[in-house]
Amino acid sequence: TQLLEQSPQFLSIQEGENLTVYCNSSSVFSSLQWYRQEPGEGPVLLVTVVTGGEVKKLKRLTFQFGDARKDSSLHITAAQPGDTGLYLCAGGGNMEYGNKLVFGAGTILRVKS
């Protein structure tokens, strides 16, 4: 069982559509991070959220940290083919897991032109 559950596992949409991916846990984290990984490359950090209820925007991407710091969402507006990739959420500062990041299994996003 994954500590962080991501949904959906796979998403295929047309260019211009909006989408939301979710990251859920029964555990509390000090921080929640989102990474994007392209084939053959390592994950690249998109954002870190540390405050319950926090919302951060990065151009067309909006990230939200749940009030209880157990879940997060990533919303993409007007998706583009360049958004294609594996989106990973990762939790840090969980007392049970110490000072290390724990990753979800990821959401594979494909944006078709």
**Site size for other proteins, by CB under 8 A?**
27
Residue (17 or 32) nearer to other proteins, CB: 32
Q: Which is nearer to other proteins, 15 or 41 (CB)?
A: 41
Nearest to 109 by CA among 31, 48, 22, 47: 22
The sheet carrying 19-24 orders its strands as: 5-7, 19-24, 71-76, 61-65, 55-58
Stretch of residues binding other proteins (CB under 8 A), selected from 14-22, 43-51, 55-63, 69-77: 43-51
Rounded distance between C-alpha atoms, residue 52 and residue 63, angstroms? 12
Closer to other proteins at the Cβ: 10 or 78? 10
Place of tokens 């209820």: 53
Question: Any contact of residue 23 with other proteins (CB under 8 A)?
Answer: no
Regarding 104 and contact with other proteins (CB under 8 A), the answer is yes
Cα radius of gyration rounded to whole Å, the chain: 13
Residue 99, both tokens: 């000072």
Q: Does 68 bind other proteins (CB under 8 A)?
A: no
Q: Which of 1, 14, 99, 113 binds other proteins (CB under 8 A)?
A: 99
Question: How many angstroms from the chain centroid is the CA of residue 10?
Answer: 13
Q: Which residues bind other proteins (CB under 8 A)?
A: 2, 4, 30-31, 33, 35, 40-45, 48, 50, 88, 90, 92-93, 98-106
